[in-house]
Amino acid sequence: MNNIEKKLHTRSNSSCELCKSPDGLTAYIVPPKTDFNEDFSILICETCKDQIENPANITPNHWRCLNDSMWSEISAVQVVAWRMLTRLRNEGWPQDLLDMLYLDEETLTWAKATGEGDDDENKIKHFDSNGVQLQDGDSVVLIKDLNVKGANFTAKRGTAVRRISLVWDNPNQIEGRVEGQHIVILTQYVKKI
């Protein structure tokens, strides 16, 4: 064991700094850092390492350990916690933890440096009734009759709505023109065409 590994073992009490497991511990240099020193590295177990490096092997429940370890004072641990929670955010509970996790600016920059969460970082995703992702400018068809609030008409099932725009702060709503009226439509009532 070299000096840095010794320091990591002392710091972590010879347990995984993410899930506390004592098994198969190795030092992990948190990318994109490459220098092997204790500030840029964490001590992690085989299970954590495998799931960090192979997203296909991920078992979300394993990462409930972050509930505790995300409060670590060590930046490198915070960075990995942030990345794994971001990767799992669609599970629901990781998003709740992320909402509580505060990283200082430098640490957050490090956490984002590998591109984790770039897809949906600043953007809410919209999906149609079949789970197909919608984009601004798409065309959709209504899958049921909709009473349009505030305008006295019913938008008929089968009506095509062209060049929709997404409601940026609400994943359940899009906007488009039906019979010359600009209306808000719930995504669950449309199908992309």
Residue number with CB closer to Zn ion (55 or 137): 55
Name the burial class of residue 171, with classes exposed (0-12), middle (13-18) and buried (19+) by CB atoms within 10 angstroms of its CB: middle
Residues 6+ apart with CB under 8 A from 152: none
H-state helical runs in the chain: 3-12, 46-53, 66-69, 75-87, 93-100, 105-112
Output the smallest distance, CB 62 to Zn ion, in A.
8
Output the smallest distance, CB 78 to Zn ion, in A.
15
Measure the CA dihedral 130/133/139/142, to 10°.
30
Q: Which stretch binds Zn ion (CB under 5 A): 13-21, 28-36, 68-76, 114-122?
A: 13-21
Q: Which stretch binds Zn ion (CB under 5 A): 20-28, 68-76, 104-112, 180-188?
A: 20-28
Output the smallest distance, CB 85 to Zn ion, in A.
15
Tokens of 9: 């073992």
Separation CA 126–CA 135 (nearest Å): 7
Q: Across-strand partners of 153?
A: 148
- Told to check if 16 binds Zn ion by CB under 5 A, we report yes
Output the smallest distance, CB 47 to Zn ion, in A.
5
Residue number with CB closer to Zn ion (19 or 80): 19
- Told to check if 19 binds Zn ion by CB under 5 A, we report yes
Residue number with CB closer to Zn ion (48 or 77): 48
Residues 6+ apart with CB under 8 A from 100: none
Output the smallest distance, CB 103 to Zn ion, in A.
20
Name the burial class of residue 192, with classes exposed (0-12), middle (13-18) and buried (19+) by CB atoms within 10 angstroms of its CB: middle
Residue number with CB closer to Zn ion (77 or 166): 77
Residue number with CB closer to Zn ion (48 or 85): 48
Please give the residues from 34 up to 93 whose contact with Zn ion meets the rule CB under 5 A: 45, 48
Residue number with CB closer to Zn ion (55 or 115): 55
Which residues of this protein are in contact with Zn ion, per CB under 5 A?
A: 16, 18-19, 21, 45, 48
